[in-house]
Structure formats: C-alpha cells, structure tokens
Structure 1
Amino acid sequence: MIRVNRHGYTVLEEKRDGFDEEAFIARYSDVLDKYDYIVGDWGHGQLRLKGFYEPQSKLATYENRIDHVMDYVYEYCNFGCPYFVLKKETDINEEESGPVFGGTKQKLKLKRKFNKNEETNA
C-alpha cells in the first residue's frame, strides 16, 4: 500500500514497470484526493496523473469513470507507454503509525531528488 496525503492506495495494474513510488509522491496533488482511482502514464520522461471515479459515483461522467480507463489510455497516452492504475483504499487517520507522504516539504524534497536523478541519467 502506498500512503500519500492521508490516503492509502493499492496498485491494481502496472504496465511496462510504469509505477515509481517516489515520482508518484512528488507529482501527487491535493486535487487528486477526491478521486477513487488514479492513473499515471509516462511520456517524454514526465509522469502525468489523472483521476477517475467509480461508475456509480454521482460525480462520474463518461470520460472519468474507471470502466473507461482504457479509452483514456488509447486516446490520450503515448502508444505503448508505461502506465499504472491505483485504487484509493483507505483514509489514514493521524493516530495511525507509519510515515504518511505527501506534505508540501516532503513533495518538494522528492521532486528535487527526482529531477536531479533525471538530469544525471540523461
């Protein structure tokens, strides 16, 4: 389980080793808190995240329902790109032990580290 911003996520699907926990935490935004699922895809060395809802959710539209996630992958992602699908499992209480990632300082630190690694690998 991945913990970020007081939520726990489970990896449901991963294609071509698309999931990188540090990159996900660095890229995560509070806007994604409201979604039931998060899809991440890689293009040109950049991770892009998009939220999706359960089909029965009142907030769900055709485009952002999880049962149409493959339409999104085929239409908006680079052909053959690595991607992953995460499902929000739990809300983490502050009393629970263990690190919870996603705070502003933690995200900036990881973002700097990730960008530095990209520059050295290029």
Structure 2
Amino acid sequence: MHLLHDAAAPPAEPITFDDFLKVDIRVGTILSAEPFPEARKPAYKLLIDFGPVIGERKSSAQITAHYTLEDLPGRKVAAVVNFPPRQIGKFMSQVLTLGFADEAGEVVLFSPDKDVPNGSRLF
C-alpha cells in the first residue's frame, strides 16, 4: 500500500499556518461524471462546479471502487483548486478531488456533512 494511504503512517512534518493557507481547498458540486478508460488506474472524469468565482473545473478521480457514474452528479466534494493543471493521458485535470483511503486502499470522497455553497473554502 502507498504510504499516503496508510492510516498507520506517521504525521507529516510540521508546517506553519501560512503554509496551510497556501493550499486552497474548496467545496463544489459534481455536475457530470464520465468513464476514463485511457487512465492507467481505474478513474472517472469529473466536471465540478465551484461557484461563480472559480467556476467549473475538470478532475480525474480514482473513485471507481465505491462510486458508479450515476452516483456522482449532485454530490458535494472537496478539492484543491490551486495546483497547476495536470495532464493525465489526453485529459487535463484542473483540480485535485480529495478523499481518504479505506482499509483496502480505495478512495472514499471527502465532503461536508451539511450543505454549504459551492466555492466555500476550507479553514
């Protein structure tokens, strides 16, 4: 299992609060999900609405173990919106959709437990 997915991994090195503020994590609503058969690991292509300031962004997400394409539209998710876009095959992923690994290492999406507006920033 990859170290990032290991619940027994030690905590990361300490950072400052200013370091934390550099990571812009926002909530958005998945508008659509499509298959991504060209991906090396099973994944979906997501289109996520982050509200009027950030707008719609695309993401590749390795979430096929727990979610079907039909499960995803309308679901709130959190994502890092200020990483540079990343080319994944022929697809440009613009945000990093966030999740936690279950005991098998499969991704479980991270989302708020109450409704919040698209574009709300994690603090």
TM range (shorter): under 0.3
TM-score (norm 2): 0.26
Higher-helix-fraction structure: 1
Structure having greater relative contact order (Cα 8 Å, sep ≥ 6): 1
Higher-strand-fraction structure: 2
TM-score (norm 1): 0.26
